[in-house]
Structures are given as C-alpha cells and as structure tokens.
C-alpha cells in the first residue's frame, strides 16, 4: 500500500471539500515550543543558544522561525513542501510564508525517506502532532536517530489510541474511527469538525473516511517493535512531563498534592494524555528515569 501522503492529487480533492481552519495564536505556539525545550533540557542535557535543532514535519516553518529567533541553529523537514509548491494543501487559513528561514526548510520525497543531513548532525529534534500521520515508522526512526548526535535526543508529541476524541474529524475514540459504521453513526448524529460546517451527513461521512486514510494510531507496543526492527531506542515520558509541567491546571493540581501522590497521579493521567516519545541518537542509552 503506497504512503497516502505521496498521493497529492487525492489530498487536494479532499482539502478542496473542507473549509480552511483558523490557526492558533502565535504566542500559544511559541509557549508550547518553549515548554518542549525546557523539558528536553531537564532530561540531562542543556541546549544553549547555537544548538542545532531539527523540526520534523515543519509545515510552514513557524517553529523553525521561532527557534531562529530564540538563537538556535534550526532546520525543518516535511514530506510536503507546504511553504512553497504544496502550499495549496495546507489546511489552515494562512498567507503563503515569506522570510529567510524558508531556505532552511527541506522537502523529503516519498517513497524513499531520507533526511538531507549528515550523520550525527543535530543536538535535538522535535515534532508536534506528526507521528499519527507516519506510515513508515521504521524509516523515520532510523533517519532521525542517524542525524542525531550520539548523546542527543528527539521529542515527539502526538495523539495515541488512548485519546477520547479523534482530533481531525472530531469523532470519539480514535481506534474506532477506522470502522465505517462508527463513522456513519456520528455523521448521522450531527457531529461535524470545524471544516465541515453546513455539511450533510453523507458529505460528512465521505470526507471523514477520506481524512482517516491519513491517520493511524499505533499502540506503544507497535511503536517499540518498529523501533526494535530499525535498531533504534525509544521511550515514552508522558508521566514525567506531567510531573514537570510548569504551567496550567494540571501543574497547579500536582503542586497542591503531597509529593508521595504526584507520581501515582501523573502515571494515571498519562494513560489518557497525548504521547511524548523520545528517540535516542545512535549510541545513547535510554534514561532510566523516564
């Protein structure tokens, strides 16, 4: 089965039917990126200004531009050249990006996934809401680990099958969204995503089925087996991130409870949290504290 992201014409047909969504506020995106950097630094390796960072699945290059503003040597890769020739496939209501940072963005052509960087090149790699769209995880694991320095890590935040709501079609229970009767039920019930305002149940059903072709929700066990075949070490650190979260309602709740309970509560919350996966550079062992 071909990677669906290689079939751009099919993507264009789907996106032409959906309404463009509104982007998140730039400050929200910046704070999210800063939080990821802070968590990465807490894993035991600081990232001073000038550190070389890769944004995997860079989209329009927003995070690369922010990282450059923060003083990092940042680059981005994506299987779609959304900042240029594939801009029409972008799903948010945005203007085509401009700026010198665009020269740091690189398209990785499918089906042969190979990052255009030498071995042991990056101090850190990041991705946000990417791995639920990865259909070639072994290649991606192998390539990310290859371009990381031996003592480097990468952090990847994405939804798993444990989520209550599927974020692309806004139908409950992602693992059930691969089944037509489940998708049909919620289309008939009137459930619509932000891009489906005014859709009939039939149009909703059809576009939801098409959208789900671009999504997959592997379990942690499946991802670990893919990583093992790629000879790459990965780990999952949701509970640790919840304990270390500096802001927000969860942080206030954790700080208000006795220290002995924080670990138990963090592990319980992590069962329903988005994944936070670590990929280790070739030669680095996993952190036993994660």
For residue 278, the cross-strand partners are 155, 235
Q: What pLDDT sits at residue 250? A: 65
- Other Cβ atoms closer than 10 A to 50: 9
Set out the domains of the chain in order of their start, with CATH numbers.
Answer: 4-160+218-280 (3.40.50.150), 174-212 (no CATH)
Look at residue 115 and tell me whether its pLDDT is greater than 70. yes
Copy the structure tokens of residue 156: 């990847």
Instruction: Please report which confidence band the pLDDT of residue 246 belongs to, taking 50, 70 and 90 as the band edges.
Output: low
* Confidence tier at 254 by pLDDT (50, 70, 90): low
Measured CA to CA, the distance from residue 7 to residue 204 in angstroms comes to: 21
Q: What is the pLDDT of residue 1?
A: 64
Q: What distance in Å separates the CA atoms of residue 107 and residue 56, rounded to the nearest whole number?
A: 11
Give the mean pLDDT of the chain.
90
pLDDT exceeds 90 at position 270 = no
Residue 140: band (very low, low, confident or very high) from pLDDT cuts 50, 70, 90: very high
According to the model, what pLDDT value does residue 131 have? Answer: 96
With cut-offs at 50, 70 and 90, classify the pLDDT of residue 289.
Answer: very low
Please check the confidence at residue 266 and state whether its pLDDT lies above 70. Answer: yes
Rounded Cα distance, 55 and 34, in Å: 13
Once rounded to an integer, what is the mean pLDDT over residues 105-119? 93
Check residue 288 and give its pLDDT: 44
Fill in the DSSP letter of residue 132: G
More confident residue, 99 or 26: 99
Query: Looking at per-residue confidence, does 269 or 206 come out higher?
Result: 206
**Average confidence (pLDDT) over 279-285:** 74
Is the pLDDT at 290 greater than 80? The verdict is no
- What's the pLDDT score for residue 172? 95
Instruction: Report the sign of the C-alpha dihedral through residues 214, 197, 97, 158, in that order.
Output: negative
Specify whether the CB–CB gap between 272 and 139 falls below 8 A: no
Rounded to whole angstroms, the Cα distance separating 82 from 40 reads 27
Specify whether the CB–CB gap between 194 and 228 falls below 8 A.
no
Residue 102 and residue 61 in contact, taking contact as beta carbons nearer than 8 Å: yes
* pLDDT digits 0-9 by tens, 156-194: 999 999 889 999 999 999 999 999 999 999 999 999 998
The pTM of this model reads 0.90
Distance CA(289)–CA(286), nearest Å, equals 9
Q: What is the pLDDT averaged over residues 116-129?
A: 96
């Amino acid at each position: 089965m071909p990677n669906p992201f290689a079939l751009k014409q099919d993507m264009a047909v789907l996106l032409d039917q959906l309404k463009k969504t509104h982007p998140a506020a730039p400050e929200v995106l910046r704070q999210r990126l800063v939080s990821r950097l802070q968590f990465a630094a807490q894993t035991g390796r600081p990232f001073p200004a000038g550190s070389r960072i890769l944004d995997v699945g860079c989209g329009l290059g927003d995070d690369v531009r922010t990282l450059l503003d923060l003083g990092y040597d940042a680059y981005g890769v994506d299987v779609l050249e959304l900042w240029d020739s594939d801009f029409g496939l972008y799903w948010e209501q945005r203007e085509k990006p401009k700026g010198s940072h665009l020269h740091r963005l690189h398209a990785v052509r499918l089906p042969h996934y190979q990052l255009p960087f030498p071995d042991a090149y990056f101090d850190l790699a990041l991705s946000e809401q990417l791995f639920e769209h990865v259909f070639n995880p072994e290649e991606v694991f192998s390539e990310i680990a290859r371009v990381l320095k031996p003592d480097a890590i990468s952090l990847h935040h994405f939804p798993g099958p444990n989520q209550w709501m599927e974020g692309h079609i806004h139908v409950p229970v992602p693992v059930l969204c691969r089944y037509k009767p489940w998708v049909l039920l919620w289309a008939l019930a009137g459930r619509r995503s932000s891009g489906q305002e005014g859709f009939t149940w039939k149009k909703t059903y059809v576009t939801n089925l098409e959208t789900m072709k671009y999504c997959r929700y592997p379990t942690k066990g499946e991802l670990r087996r893919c990583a093992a075949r790629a000879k790459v070490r990965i780990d999952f650190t949701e509970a640790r991130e919840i304990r270390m979260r500096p802001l927000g309602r969860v942080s206030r709740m954790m700080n208000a409870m006795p220290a002995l309970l924080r670990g138990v509560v963090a592990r319980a919350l992590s069962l329903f949290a988005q994944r936070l996966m670590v990929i280790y550079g070739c030669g680095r062992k996993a952190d036993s504290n994660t």
